A and B are shown apart, each in its own frame.
Chain A
């Protein structure tokens, strides 16, 4: 017999207070951004108009929040009921991650006070990848809220609403799979129009959406492994490695397809020379590829697949790999032209860290107050 329940224990703890102070510092700088303008707190310039607020908070943050997506794929569509216990914590983390990505996109908007323009159909430019990303991410945040709603409704005992929601669940979950597939691939497509500014090793043009989608899935599954172990530690239970064995097999395929597509593109485009130049960009490429390859080697051995610590190492590698891929393509190796350079300012970094702290605090509060984590009684 099994059930969801709130994690016992206090909310206020030393780490919590540390996160709280980082959050407050971040909010101080965010306030400055609204009062004095973006130039006051950020190092953005004419060549680098997207800094870490877009690239980390939105592009990478949303991929790190793909746990709900990856699990929805596995649990419902493929009918592997045994993954159920992980859905709620994953959906919660996704909701928080996507919520903050949406907030990040908002405060990064230079003309935030008319953000609603993107929701007015008469403004829509259907050629714009950004339009698809904006609308689709917004819709997905609502879908995630609905996916998570049962935890809240159970808590307050709203049985009637729960029933209605359960009836609609098939539609919500289907949207929860469709929408991320759309906007996660579009995040990659944003790079196409950036043309020559994107380094040749990352400018795969037509394959951008596929590579972005693959990294989203890889990072999504890795986060699930990550959260699974968190949950196990929280309830002082044995890590349910058997749950992850099958996930690992899916991940192996995703990694293989990613690496093959990546190298095939580079060879096909005749960019091998960039790979072997051993400048900063080629070293970043090698580091990134290593981070994709190590987990592949770990997971290929069946013995490793049932060992929690190995799985965790693989998951961490993949999270870093996917993040580095997106950082490299959008920021680290970007070359808008002579005379432009960018390194985030301290306030920019603090804003981002502040939001990450908020995410962690919100997660702690919610798993301790709502029935999120799954407890298996034996």
Chain B
């Protein structure tokens, strides 16, 4: 083969196979989204029930030994956290529009929205972490963080669609912080048969604990209720004798956030406001993590492709080096 042709063929083969893998992996070997664990636990946050008391924020800080974020004047003792941070794993945000006249109304209204780890069914943070410091419990579905393994590359932060994991930048020996559904080592409320601190203290049941299955059923039931009528809303742990209170049924958006988004989440949200207005990201049903893994595994399936490539390259190089030697001997004596 002529050298020039050789150059062309090899370059084209390399690039061509990368492209082919990219395109073919779209369908052939796609891994698809992970499926919810059958006994996964989670929470249902009903924005229309939330009164913005932030009892859940305080309870979360107490469980995690985190200080309140102080107001500018430093006199107010309430927590003024505006967003998630390495000191705030659960936060209540406010949606505002126009004259703010009516709660849970998109135009000229306001609403509350909770932010904390969604405990994804197909978690990006777990997929991207090189050292398995983010772990997805196969039974509870809870996503936990393990500082002893973590190298602090912060890929989990960019890989989380909700910007949940937060690094302690101000600490020279910092770590990642995120909600671990009160099941982190030393707390283990769920393993002990309890519920999350935020659901425990919520006075209205806006944050409700339970199995993903029963929470999903509850959310679907609420979608089907007739606005204006009265419903007996559960509080606390949906699966373990919840207490109840009666409240008028609002007009829900027919959308359960977390049923499908990026493979779904174990923390579900329902609301009277469109979720993009509440700051939820524009997610497709297919999780980006599953696409990344599909591409990567197709390229590296059992390391076969790289191994074959190395053998081929080594052979070619060896052959060509010998040619070089011949040439050297002929013309390039020193």
Q: What residues of chain A have their CB less than 8 Å away from a CB belonging to chain B?
A: 1-3, 34-40, 42, 44-47, 49-50, 73-74, 76-81, 105, 108-115, 117-118, 120, 123-125, 127-132, 134, 169-171, 173-175, 177-178, 181-182, 185-186, 189-190, 192-197, 205-210, 213-214, 250, 253, 257, 261, 336-340
Complex Cα gap A104–B296 (Å): 24
* In the assembled complex, B292 has its CB within 8 A of some CB on chain A: yes
With a 10 A CB-CB cut-off, give which of A114, A213, A214 has the most chain B CB atoms.
A114
Surface stretch bound by A, among B195-203, B250-258, B279-287: B279-287
With a 10 A CB-CB cut-off, give which of B170, B281, B288, B292 has the most chain A CB atoms.
B292
- Are the CB atoms of A78 and B295 closer together than 8 Å? no
Which residues from chain A contact B154 at a C-beta distance below 8 Å?
Answer: 49-50, 110
- Are the CB atoms of B310 and A178 closer together than 8 Å? yes
Which residues from chain B contact A194 at a C-beta distance below 8 Å?
Answer: 158-159, 288
| Residues of B287-334 whose CB lies within 8 A of A | 287-289, 291-293, 295-297, 299-300, 306, 309-310, 313-314, 316-318, 320-321, 323-324, 327, 332, 334
Question: Which 6 interchain pairs have the tightest Cβ spacing?
Answer: A110-B152, A195-B288, A39-B169, A111-B152, A131-B130, A174-B313
Surface stretch bound by A, among B6-14, B39-47, B52-60, B267-275: B6-14
A sample of 20 more A-B contacts (CB under 8 A), given A47-B163, A193-B155, is A34-B172, A44-B169, A74-B7, A76-B320, A110-B176, A111-B151, A118-B131, A123-B131, A130-B128, A130-B130, A169-B321, A170-B318, A181-B309, A185-B299, A189-B295, A195-B161, A195-B283, A195-B287, A205-B295, A209-B18
- Are the CB atoms of B172 and A36 closer together than 8 Å? yes
Sample of 6 A–B contacts (CB below 8 Å): A38-B167, A76-B321, A134-B130, A170-B321, A174-B310, A194-B158
Which residues from chain B contact A170 at a C-beta distance below 8 Å?
Answer: 314, 317-318, 321
Report B135 CB to chain A, min CB distance, Å: 10
Which residues from chain B contact A44 at a C-beta distance below 8 Å?
Answer: 167, 169
Beta-carbon nearest neighbor of B174 in chain A: A110
Complex Cα gap A132–B295 (Å): 13
Beta-carbon nearest neighbor of A178 in chain B: B310
Which residues from chain B contact A253 at a C-beta distance below 8 Å?
Answer: 11
- Are the CB atoms of A46 and B7 closer together than 8 Å? no
Report A257 CB to chain B, min CB distance, Å: 6
| Residues of B219-276 whose CB lies within 8 A of A | 262
Complex Cα gap A111–B132 (Å): 14
- Are the CB atoms of A37 and B22 closer together than 8 Å? no
| Residues of B186-224 whose CB lies within 8 A of A | none
- Are the CB atoms of B130 and A206 closer together than 8 Å? no
- Are the CB atoms of A81 and B15 closer together than 8 Å? no
Which residues from chain B contact A120 at a C-beta distance below 8 Å?
Answer: 131
Report A276 CB to chain B, min CB distance, Å: 20
Number of residue pairs spanning A and B whose beta carbons lie under 8 angstroms apart: 246
Complex Cα gap A139–B257 (Å): 43
| Residues of B1-43 whose CB lies within 8 A of A | 3, 6-7, 10-11, 14-15, 18-19, 21-23, 25-26
Report B326 CB to chain A, min CB distance, Å: 10
Beta-carbon nearest neighbor of A135 in chain B: B130
Complex Cα gap A255–B148 (Å): 45
Which residues from chain A contact B18 at a C-beta distance below 8 Å?
Answer: 185, 209-210, 213
- Are the CB atoms of A109 and B157 closer together than 8 Å? no
* In the assembled complex, B84 has its CB within 8 A of some CB on chain A: yes
- Are the CB atoms of B26 and A214 closer together than 8 Å? no
Contact of A174 among B83, B284, B314, B327 (CB under 8 A): B314
Given contacts A78-B6, A195-B283, contact A178 B172 (CB under 8 A): no
- Are the CB atoms of A129 and B15 closer together than 8 Å? no
Contact of A111 among B15, B150, B296, B306 (CB under 8 A): B150
- Are the CB atoms of B10 and A46 closer together than 8 Å? no
With a 10 A CB-CB cut-off, give which of A130, A175, A181 has the most chain B CB atoms.
A130
With a 10 A CB-CB cut-off, give which of A80, A125, A197, A209 has the most chain B CB atoms.
A125
Which residues from chain B contact A45 at a C-beta distance below 8 Å?
Answer: 169
Which residues from chain A contact B183 at a C-beta distance below 8 Å?
Answer: none
